[in-house]
Amino acid sequence: MLNTIINDVISVLKTTFMGGDLISIIIAAGSVVIAAFIMQRGTQIGSMTLLALVLFAFGGFVRGVMRGPIASDGGSVASQTGGRAVSQVNSSLGQFYDLSAGGLLAYFIAFMLLIFLVFGVKAALNRG
């Protein structure tokens, strides 16, 4: 069981922070850095991890909405963006509902480890 969790965390770290395209890596790293710099004490790691995951999800949502133009049959730009936002919300909720409990735990642990690492570096540099 522990081996499965560790493998899931390593898989999340690889796919989120080392794989994919540059924009998704920037969104993930940015959410980790923002959460680490907002964090005042090490006891806030749980709430800051949740904040980072929400920022990561919101960044992915905004990216999906702001993607290239949609081929349409003469609709206005506002209606295209609104339709894209609705379809992105539906897609994001579908992906969240398809996520297993182990996958969600792996995301939480991976983000928590990285936030704690960045927070430790920040704390070491501030003492100095």
Amino acid sitting at position 125: L
| CA–CA distance, 40 with 53 (Å, rounded to integer) | 18
This prediction's pTM:
0.82
Phi–psi pair at 70, nearest 5 degrees: -100, 135
Residue 20 has pLDDT above 90, yes or no: no
Q: Which among 77, 31, 83, 38 has a CA at the least distance from the CA of 58?
A: 31
Question: For residue 48, what are the contacts with CB-CB under 8 A and spacing of at least 6?
Answer: 35, 36, 38, 39, 115
Distance of CA 105 to the CA centre of its chain: 13
pLDDT (tens digit per residue) in 47-58? 999 999 999 999
Q: What is the distance between the alpha carbons of residues 52 and 31, in angstroms, rounded to a whole number? A: 5
pLDDT confidence of 128, banded at 50, 70, 90?
Answer: low
Taking only the tens place, the pLDDT of each residue in 69-115 is 555 555 555 556 667 778 888 888 888 888 888 889 999 999 999 99
